[in-house]
Structure 1
Amino acid sequence: MHLNENTKILGRRILLVPYEARHVPKYHEWMGSETLRQLTASEELTLDEEYEMQRSWREDADKLTFIVLNAELYEREQDEIAAMVGDTNLFLHRDPDSNLLVGEAEIMIAEPDARGKGFGREAMLLMLKYAQSQLNLDKFEVKIDMDNITSLHLFETFQFVETRRVEVFHEVTLERPITPDWVSWLNQQVDLRIESF
């Protein structure tokens, strides 16, 4: 999606930047981990396929993605690649039953030493707030591996509610309608600061 191609989102401890070709080699290195692929329900791709995937994230109108940077490390090193710790994505689709516009959210903190520090929580809150303010969405949803207790708990703290389990895919779906009350809650959780470049 071109919406965020010149957008940087400034958090307290993280920065969100558009996923560019220069980020692909490190991202590809992360996705060499079978554990990460399993947790994110991803397939192993060649480096060329990873570059093609990055292009589709940039070009396709139904996909929005940011790379998550450790803000302190970026400030110190001035190197986006060194500061990369993960990514956050949104897939847009229409609910087949209600025709509501849905943003399916994903968060991955890939760097092991960056986990458990609140980076994923802050990155996801910023992504939800950005998408809610920029896109005409009706609800958010997430699909999480049943064993990924950390992610399930994270989205429950965001007031997402389980709506279905698919045992064959070992997957839980949680949803959060975008209501005025929830937007008010979201505004209390995070201050959206956007910088254009």
Structure 2
Amino acid sequence: MRLNEQTLLEGHKVVLVPYKKYHVPRYHEWMKSPELQQLTASEPLTMDQEYEMQKSWHLDDNKLTFIVLDKVKWQDPDISEEDSMCGDVNLFFNDADDSSVAEIEIMIAEPSCRGKGFGKEVLLLMMQYGISKLSVSKYVAKIGMENQVSIKMFTKLGFSQVSISEVFQEVTLDYSITDEVKGQLAQQTSHMITQQYAKTIGDVCHGSED
């Protein structure tokens, strides 16, 4: 989705930036991991296929993607943006009956970035962005049954279990966005700074890149 191609979201611990070509090599390395393949129900791709996937995601009106950066590393002028990468977060708009329903998916790929509260902040920032920019009225999350850490995190944030699929070994949760929830999310993300995306501080804007 091109909506966020020039958007950077800054939180306390993380920074969300649009998925660009120069992020692909690090992303490709992540997805060689059997653990991440299992958790994301993904098949390994070649580098060329990964570049094609990045391009298709960028152009797909039903998918919104941000790359997650470790803010401490991102702020260090000696560390590149690619070396600050720690995961990604996605919204999928695949409900044919209701375009305001979004499936939300998060991956904290770098082991050193886990257990630091990054996932929670990423979800809150992404949910607030989806509500304010895409009028999302309900979020859905599908999580592997073995991924109890993620299930617990989503539940703590207000998601409720809808169903369990023994066939796909996954749990489906959802979260309806009421006026009360909007107020809570706005308060929880009041620290979020939205700005025009540039690859590095002081660099020219890279928002026009695919």
Both structures adopt the same fold (TM-score exceeding 0.5): yes
> RMSD between aligned alpha carbons?
1.2
Q: Counterpart of 1:20? A: 20
Shift of 1:163: 0.6
For residue 159 of structure 1, what is the aligned residue in structure 2? 158
Query: Contact 2:128 / 2:185 at 8 angstroms: preserved in 1?
Result: yes
Give CA-to-partner distance per residue, 1:19-62, whole Å, 9 cap, x none.
00100000000000000111111111111111111111110100
- 1:95 Cα deviation after fit: 5.6
- Which 10-residue stretch deviates more, 57-66 or 38-47? 38-47
Letter in 1 for 2:91: L
1:83 corresponds in structure 2 to: 84
Q: In structure 2, what is the Cα distance between the partners aligned to 1:80 and 1:142?
A: 28
Greater share of helix: 1
Map of 2:120 onto structure 1: 121
Stretches of structure 2 that go unaligned for 5 or more consecutive residues are 198-210
Quote the residue 2:196 is aligned against: 196
Aligned 8 A contact 1:10 1:193 in 2: yes
Residues 95, 163 of structure 1: alpha-carbon distance in 2 compared, 3 angstrom cutoff:
farther
Structure 2 SS opposite 1:168: coil
List per-residue Cα deviations over 1:104-125 (Å, max 9, x = no partner).
0011110011100011111111
Counterpart of 1:140 in structure 2 is 139
2:56 corresponding residue in structure 1: 56
Residue deviations 1:141-193, cap 9 Å, x none? 00000010010011101111011111010010000011111111112222232
Give how far 1:101 is off.
2.5
In the superposition, the TM-score normalised over structure 1's length comes to 0.95
| Alignment correspondent of 1:176 | 175
Q: 1:95 touches 1:101 (CA, 8 Å); kept in 2? A: no
Query: Share of identical aligned residues, percent?
Result: 48
How big is each residue's C-alpha offset from its partner over 1:1-23, in whole Å with a ceiling of 9 and x where there is no partner?
A: 01000000011111000000100
- Any idea what SS the aligned residue of 1:32 has? coil
TM-score, normalising length from structure 2? 0.89
Instruction: Tell me if 1:33 matches 2:33.
Output: yes
**1:7 maps to which residue?**
7
What SS does the corresponding residue of 1:176 show, helix, strand or coil? strand
C-alpha deviation, 1:93, in angstroms:
2.2
Distance across 1 between alignment mates of 2:173 and 2:99: 16
Distance, in Å, in 2 between the alignment partners of 1:100 and 1:25 is 32
Unaligned runs of 5+ in 1: none
Is the contact between residue 93 and residue 101 of structure 1 (CA under 8 Å) also seen in structure 2?
no
What is the SS of the residue equivalent to 2:75?
helix
Matches of 1:100 and 1:134, distance apart in 2: 13
Q: 1: CA distance between counterparts of 2:86 and 2:105?
A: 14
